[in-house]
A and B are shown apart, each in its own frame.
Chain A
């Protein structure tokens, strides 16, 4: 069992106590995200500093956004170097004692902020969004501190509909899920420090499987992986596989040739 010690009695800021909105900023031919609103619940002491940390790829920036009582937005150019086409970044807020610079309250994990809507970003174990992946149709990234994300090539004009297309999802999700499992098993000793691991724990609970202990034997982790994939694929059969087959067969009956190159 993991016990978290909080010697300074640091509080967890709940997600519903924060609202951060982002818009697209355009300067010449450059685009970057701009934070357009930031609201912090007034349940915290007025004088606490609102310390915002943002991250896109390896570029971390921070800014003190006033106090709880008088929250101020960062300058409009704050994210001017965040030029990734996704126009997204992760953010993390801490409330800081102005005297000691001690952390009084903190978000439990970084959250994704994006100009674009991202499918089920809050509770889904995997994010799906558009990105530059060519010549691959899709790609997947798992970076420390960030939820595993599937990128669909931004050359696809209808990427939003592809995100819920059963044929596409049936083809890519099993590979993607296996990749995440391998990542979790490889970093088994620290994986529970990943903010997104909670979402996977919920999935494990729902599927009645237990993630192995850090000192588990390789055979146990392999058995867990096989067991999880079996159960998850059964769960997905109705949601993805069956609709995909139905879709493919109906397409074929219209005479489309899927073997054509």
Chain B
């Protein structure tokens, strides 16, 4: 399905009810609403948006950025809940997958409904808004964290987005350096395991280092040298 731009749902109870019915009570979506002027308004100065079977989150984020008119424009809509509701609804088939037994797998409602950003840990779980922000802020360096399919979560995404400090570019790149295989363009095996040296362990290690150093101001290699040497020997 191709849209001639990005739209936002109107701010009314009818929209809230429809969204809840689809994503909470599993009603079949009515995609005709997405261009119905009684339900939506077009977001000015946006480009066409094509919903397709995106290879991964990164491909979807790139398409979104293009439709918004560039990665930097995404931030402008950060607080516009109804834009993200519209995009979530439009991408329904990509984020709600049919299981082998024919049923659909739904996650917690806040994976679909854009929670207020002030509740950042809940807000970070949104399926579409978070990937758009990550791409908007880190561009091509977000490839590693957005390398999984749209309907999948992922330990790395969870760990990085649940600590606000890691949205800083300098720290974000440390995760990429350790867990991303640049040649194969894939995440390294075991990055999300329960091992102390996997991404969950890195979160604790970095938080400790940040008390006495400013890794954000270092080169990647300098910052990696501050870590427990086992990180380097295991992953690099």
Q: Footprint of B on A, CB under 8 Å?
A: 7-8, 10, 30, 49, 51, 53, 55, 57-62, 64, 80-81, 83-85, 94, 96, 100-103, 131-132, 141, 143-145, 151
**Distance, CA A151 to CA B116, complexed state (A):** 12
Asked if A59 and B167 sit within 8 Å, CB to CB, the answer is: yes
Q: Which B134-172 residues sit within 8 Å CB-CB of chain A?
A: 137, 161, 164-168, 170
Q: A60-B164, A84-B117 are in contact. Are A51 and B214 (CB under 8 A)?
A: yes
Among B137, B164, B211, B215, the residue within 8 A (CB) of A55 is B164
Q: Is the Cβ of A143 less than 8 Å from the Cβ of B119?
A: yes
Residues of chain B within 8 A of A80, CB atoms compared: 75
Q: Which residues of B are found within 8 Å of A141, using beta-carbon distances?
A: 116, 118-119
Q: How far is the CB of B111 from chain A (nearest CB, A)?
A: 16
Of B117, B166, B215, the most chain A CB neighbours within 10 A belong to B117
Q: Is B107 part of the contact surface with A, judged by Cβ < 8 Å? A: no
Partner of B161, one of A7, A58, A62: A58
Q: Which residues of B contact A131 (CB under 8 A)?
A: 118
Interface size class, chain B: 20 to 34
Specify which of B116, B123, B214, B215 lies most central, judged by the most chain A CB atoms within 10 Å of its CB: B214
For residue B205, CB closer than 8 A to chain A, the reply is no
Residues of A within 8 A of B3 (CB): none
For the complex with contacts A8-B212, A57-B117, A58-B161, 18 further pairs of A-B residues with Cβ separation under 8 Å are A10-B212, A49-B217, A51-B216, A53-B216, A55-B164, A55-B165, A59-B133, A60-B166, A60-B168, A61-B168, A62-B170, A62-B216, A80-B75, A81-B78, A83-B78, A96-B217, A102-B213, A143-B119
Question: Do A101 and B118 contact each other (CB < 8 Å), given the known contacts A30-B76, A83-B76?
Answer: no
Q: Is the CB of A103 within 8 A of B211?
A: yes
Q: Is the beta-carbon distance between B118 and A143 smaller than 8 angstroms?
A: yes
Subset of 17 A-B contacts with CB under 8 Å: A10-B212, A30-B76, A53-B168, A57-B117, A57-B118, A58-B167, A59-B137, A60-B164, A62-B216, A84-B118, A96-B214, A100-B213, A101-B218, A102-B214, A103-B214, A144-B121, A151-B118
Closest A residue to B13 by beta carbon equals A135
Tell whether B124 is near chain A: CB-to-CB under 8 Å. yes
* Residue of A30, A60, A96, A144 with most chain B CB atoms under a 10 A cut-off: A60
Complex Cα distance, B166 from A83, in Å, reads 20
Check A51–B123 contact: CB distance below 8 A.
no
Residue numbers in A under 8 Å from B120 (CB-CB): 57-58, 143
**Bound CA–CA A60/B124 (angstroms):** 13
Cβ of B212 and Cβ of A60 under 8 Å apart? Answer: no
Which residue, B75, B123, B124, B212, has most C-beta atoms of chain A within 10 A?
B212
